Amino acid sequence: MKVLLLGGTGEARRLADLLVAQDIDVVSSLAGRTTNARLPVGEVRQGGFGGVEGLMDRLQDVDALVDATHPFAATMTEHAAEAAQRTGTPLLVLRRPGWSATSGQWVDSADVAAQLLPQAGTRAFLTIGRQGLDAFAHTGLWTLARCVDPPEMLPTWCTLLLARGPFTLEGELALLREYRIDVLVTKDSGGAMTSAKLEAARQLGVPVVVIRRPPLPPGVQAVESVDQVVEWLQARR
């Protein structure tokens, strides 16, 4: 059985570990845009496929497609759903559970988050990756933005912190205090690697704005754990 695994997440790396250990022929695919990306074990390919048609070509010699990309990698997930449907390739999406228990203001986009924050004087901590930052450029907020890699155009209007999780509660508490943060803006990424900030904000009474996940394409089958993906693949062997 040959599996194409769309990755770029810790879950995808763990899945590659398990599949290689079980002698399942897996090729992990990365977008190739993160510097010093942690590579999964086994065969790895990097770079986009060239849209749906390119992915369809790649699926010709594949028995199953697993989409374990980040919950906010919506374009890749849409392409995977369409390419799988058009080629008849079995597809399973792995989506780690979100942070639905987080109390705060839930919004649909970075633009909406930027519009609803109070302005002058507010000190906002943005943990939304580099892609949504521009929404905050003209808000007049003081902003600290934490990203893994710098945006292509370095923003002059915010303080940039380059760091990769996992983050600890102690570290997040210290950060919120040091920068005197009074609102946290985050995406509903889910997972334990970056969730300490939510507890730190709760302990310090810092309000949280959470950007909702993009919806999954209609009709795709999704599971929440790496083990469920392994079971699904074993059932098809």
Contacts with ligand NAP, residue ranges (CB under 6 A): 6-9, 29-31, 48-51, 54-55, 69-70, 72-76, 79, 129
In angstroms, give the least distance from the CB of 44 to ligand NAP. Answer: 10
- The distance of closest approach from Cβ of residue 93 to ligand NAP in the complex, given in angstroms and rounded to an integer, is 12
CB of 31 to ligand NAP, least distance (A): 4
Non-local (6+) Cβ contacts of 161 within 8 A are: 144, 145, 146, 147
Got the DSSP string for 80-95? HHHHHHHHT--EEEE-
The continuous run of DSSP H or E covering 67 comes out as strand 64-67
Closest approach of ligand NAP to the CB of residue 52, in Å:
8
| Closer residue to ligand NAP in complex, CB, 56/182 | 56
Nearer to ligand NAP, 69 or 195 (CB): 69
Token pair recorded at residue 156: 């002059």
Residue 31 or 161 with smaller CB distance to ligand NAP:
31
CB of 15 to ligand NAP, least distance (A): 12
- What's the min distance (Å) between Cβ of 92 and ligand NAP? 15
Q: Please identify, using beta-carbon distances, which residue of 133 and 182 lies nearer to ligand NAP.
A: 133
Q: Environment class of residue 26 by beta-carbon count within 10 Å: exposed (0-12), middle (13-18) or buried (19+)?
A: buried
For ligand NAP, give the closer residue by CB, 96 or 182.
96
The identity of residue 97, as a single letter, is P
Report the alpha-carbon distance of residue 177 to residue 173 in Å, rounded.
6
Q: How far is CA 29 from the centre of its chain?
A: 15
- Select 30 or 59, whichever has its Cβ closest to ligand NAP: 30
Which of 119, 102, 138 is CA-nearest to residue 211? 102
Judge whether 80 and 93 are in contact, CB under 8 Å: yes
